[in-house]
Structure 1
């Protein structure tokens, strides 16, 4: 009910806001209301003053008539001519100005009045006011709502002796009648003035408000995106000051919009349009109605051998090289007769799509060493081949950067819209696949998407490679966590971070679906870095929740071969805030034995920082005791192939016991992988294995499910003190 009432009130307020009159109407209404108020005040004041004047007039008339009667009565009272005096008083009363006139002779006790129906012989009561005036010898006044009575002493002209008294009664006017007359007269005057003034007010109101109206219209144009709308800055009044302030504000907004546009749509390194601008230009081509039945090409360009430039000379040289390449690409498009530009421009909205802008070609830097080109109005492949040839030639001449001659090549993949895809994502994906096909064919060439060998395994690997690159650029990769537990207590003592791919079409993919491709193409380095960052960030989040969970992360041979690997790991720990002693890096036995010197050299600074190392899949390689003693490892992870045979093969049990004995001798911790049955757990516990992981305890889970699982498992939190593992450094995992 309350909600309904509130909604009704809001609706009423919205209606009132919609019905709110304009500024000119409100100005006229204000002037009219002020005029009416002033008219009412004026009429009220005038009524009061006129009523006071009428009162004063009545008193003045009473005084004048009373003085006249006093002078007139003197000779008559001296000579006792009462009859003549009575006739004169009747004539005065007949004028209508006075109601009653009395003259009293106290010597003879005779009262002469103005009433023709009476005479001075009649017995008439004498007014006390008249007697008081004769007694004190001064004029007396009595005011009543309906009349004013004044009594005057009548004095002899010579001696000034009081001969008698005169009483005059003058009627007072009706106040209501007087006020009504005054209001009626003044209301007519006010109405006439209002009718005359309203057109004048409208005229002057329009002239006064016209600059404000123009300023408002300009503000609406600016809000609609027209920053070139003129302001009336030539005025010297307050409107001019406001207009200049608005103009300065719009100039600042224009500058900020230009900067925002640059940040949003321009690549900061090359100065070319960026990925978002490229996508917007593609959308503009689709939205222009003149191009709806036309084809256009999208070329995905990847630089060959660019990584060597960064590795050999540093990223500063790489950035300068990208700038030069962008310039040459633009010149190549011009040489092909293709005007280049980009649809997204500052201060322009999507509805402003125009044909002349949209039909331009566009070259953009999509990220890293990847570029893209859009060619509109493509009807024949020869045009695409010609442009690709010019782009290839553009980079054939070595680039001279700070005195060094640098050479790169280009692998170009092309997809035609709408033949090879109906939207931006599909076109870019297929152009990417075509580019990788060109790169695998030797590079420095063009390959159309429909030329790609899309049969069987070759196509699948190309598709996986292209999609994996997209996944690494986006947020499709995630990390799952499989718990490690104490064999004896089932207490959680850590977790292994395992990568998963949230593929937009194929769903959640395990590493087996893409790790081989990542290893083959060199993407495993970027993949490993991403997993490490995600795992350390999640570990820091658990620490903030007062959960200390040591994490293990797998490391590939390509990562170990990177000279910057140790620095990158320490940088990741610093950025995420995850403590080094809670991180364990896992290296497979095969990788470790392939080049022990590299492993030893790379792991040194990391171990000094407190990071642990584990030898993964132990027992499947060809380790020697001499090498094992030299390698800087802290943990053996017994391969699951031995664990699965526990209880079935006495040989597997003997191997596991041997590994445990050797680990104890070398002060290594041991983790048994792939534990799936209670029998396997019991055997491991009986032969002294401290830690295990496998489906028996928990499958790999994402972070949220892992947190919930921790709440419900027998041991609710990771250990906070003690190790629960065998071997050396029993407290290394527990310190916070």
Structure 2
């Protein structure tokens, strides 16, 4: 009985589906045919409306040419219209031509009647006239009957003429309405099987005004429509004469629909038969033939049904008999069949609650139990289930036991298939995590990511144990290479960053201090002795500092060290202790050397929260110690301000170089033999934000540290060269000196670059003197010599600046690749008070003369200094005694005044001769 009811319901449902499908097909095909016809109509309308607009703006717009003529000929004498429109008036379709100057009618053709007289205003005509004036473009209005002495219906073409957007006047041409409509060829629509209607919206009343219609009785509400603006709104509607779907098309659609309904009915019948067969096959397919349990599909379907039928909790257990595949091959099919057939009875005997059991593959089972359990009860049940299902098999007369490993979970309302996959994945993840190879792999991955404290533990497996030992040894060697200074076996910058990160991550509240120690003038030991002596000094320094900092000592630069101190010892006292520790003489060979160091200190977290921040702060303090010649500097708020100032200097410097507003000043040099100013030195001047200027030395030092010095040096060199070209040479200057940084000197191709810059300014190379400091030359003598020699051969003079500061030696004057030496102020200011300094300066001048070197004395400020320098035979004086650095325009005035005085002196001398 139930089967018959199901069959009747199925047949009734199939019939309903066929009917609904037929209705849908019939409706859909009619809609498709209608859409095709409407698409065709829309295309016709688009092209037809475009054609109408083209004709109205083109071939029918006789007013456009007259408007252009009016713009050229003007309206003061409008009689030109009679000649210009003569041929136009011969056309019978042209009923009237008007010419307006501004708002006033100044000419009408044919001659105005009594009702339309020249001098009438725009407001006396229809709204279209005023609209054309407002929109300043062609307005087409029609059909209208408003030409007062022309009773016919006409189309008005109102064409304004303008100049630079200003309205000047209006040309109006009236064409016969029938003539205009005839040009539109509306017969095309009827020939194509369409009724049509052209209408427009009256601008004053807003009403629909039909211009022409093929069928006045036709309802065009369902018609295809398009509209266009002239600028008033026009509308064109078309509609098939026999409707959007013809009777013939309706009959064709009905025939196709019946055929498709018949085919669908046959398909449904075949589908029902196929479903019946599949239903029988599915009943067979949900069970495992070997055990009688559900297979994977059947288990998931049954579990989903359980979860939908009741909200009672369901526990899920996944069992794996590891090694089952190999064991099954050995025990044979008969014994395996016996084992498999016994699984369900054993489950049924052990499990008291309702349960489902399935076999997923050879040795994998899944069990779902409808019972309430907590985590511990699930663990106990899983352990008991594993023991209950222990498989005892006999292989080669030997008993072997297979125990199931169990993974368990509480079921949720999610699909059973998803939950089963999650449970299986958890089992294999847990199983994989127990593998020693997996554990080693995880540790290596963490080591690659930069984690610290990774230890490769010992293992019971001898091979794994040997691998762990090898990995530990390799890790220690790799860390030593990455974090250790290769020459002195002390921590490097990377180790400093790692150690500080560890300290901060371990306890962010822990306080510690960072000490930066710099050996003053260390490079002189390498120059005066050898690199081996320098290395011995560094090893001794490292040994002494290790007593204070232990393993927290790092070498971050050639002679710069960092130390981390975690104790609460006073920082001033520890700094003093370090000075005392390092001030004891260092003995190397027969030499006993006294070291001088500078120390900078900053604190965590007061001065920084990262290794990078702390290093920036302590290096800023060290720079301040060098600049102020202080033995110890502790970072504070003043240095914060110094850093902000340095940031502002770099920002201003970069901006002014880019926009070419950085100032270059010039200090003239007095030639003592001729008593003339024959040379000048270019000096950079960067304005601060307070009306003054930053220290030039600070600006250059910051540029060097920030990799901007090459950009700065190029800028100053170009400005100085241009000054010499345009002004300096004409004012009597024979040389322009420009300072050269060590970074500019030592980069590859620096000579070619500098020569190209100077030549690009269009001046002779012999006019330029490049100045380098003595310390730079001595420290980089071998690298710099080739570059300097290339520049000298090209014609540029080389000057050695700051001569006499720490490195001066009369022995190498003859070997210097320079043309000029500039005596530093620190030497010249002592000649009045120190006989030794006077003797030294005299010797330098004499040695320079022997080697054909020019000598410049810097920093001369008093008459006494000037006289003594002059007596020594120095050629040039540079200092405030004669002139401070000046802007270019100030130097021009200064040199002009000096030239004027020289000229007067010569004139006076000639007068008395």
TM range (shorter): 0.3 to 0.5
Greater strand proportion: 2
Scaled by the length of structure 2, what TM-score is found?
Answer: 0.31
TM-score, length basis structure 1: 0.38
Higher RCO (CA < 8 A, seq sep 6+):
1
